[in-house]
Amino acid sequence: MVGNDHEAGAEVHPIELVLARLLRLGSLIAAALLTVGIALMTMGMTVLAPKLITAGLLVLLGTPVMRVVAASIIFTKERDWHFAFFSIVVLCAMAAGIYFGKGD
């Protein structure tokens, strides 16, 4: 097992580790907020609970957006201009989608 991990680790790109950390942080915060929110809901705290759950859902929603932002920063730092440009195209399309989507 250790040998395999070592072998796989030989050419691990830092980007995978950074993104994995970011996504784990996002899902942990979201899961914690959701768990507390649902627990409070079952105890009958109907004012605070939906707010906590919504906060958890919003953290989850922000995670993929942050992931693309992080990728564009990493590619820029590595001077990988092709991929830095690709990430920015993705971000612009997402931003435009949000802008136009709200219209209807």
End-to-end alpha carbon distance in the chain: 53
CB of 84 to another protein, least distance (A): 10
List binders of another protein among 9-48 (CB under 8 A): 11-13, 15-17, 19-20, 23-24, 26-27, 30-31, 34-35, 37-38, 41-42
Q: What is the DSSP string of the chain?
A: -HHHHHHHHTT--HHHHHHHHHHHHHHHHHHHHHHHHHHHHHTT-TTHHHHHHHHHHHHHHHHHHHHHHHHHHHHHHTT-HHHHHHHHHHHHHHHHHHHHHHH-
Choice from 45, 48, 73, 98 touching another protein (CB under 8 A): 98
Binding site for another protein (CB under 8 A): 4, 7-8, 11-13, 15-17, 19-20, 23-24, 26-27, 30-31, 34-35, 37-38, 41-42, 49-50, 53-54, 56-58, 60-61, 63-65, 67-68, 71, 75, 82-83, 86-87, 89-90, 93-94, 96-98, 100-102, 104
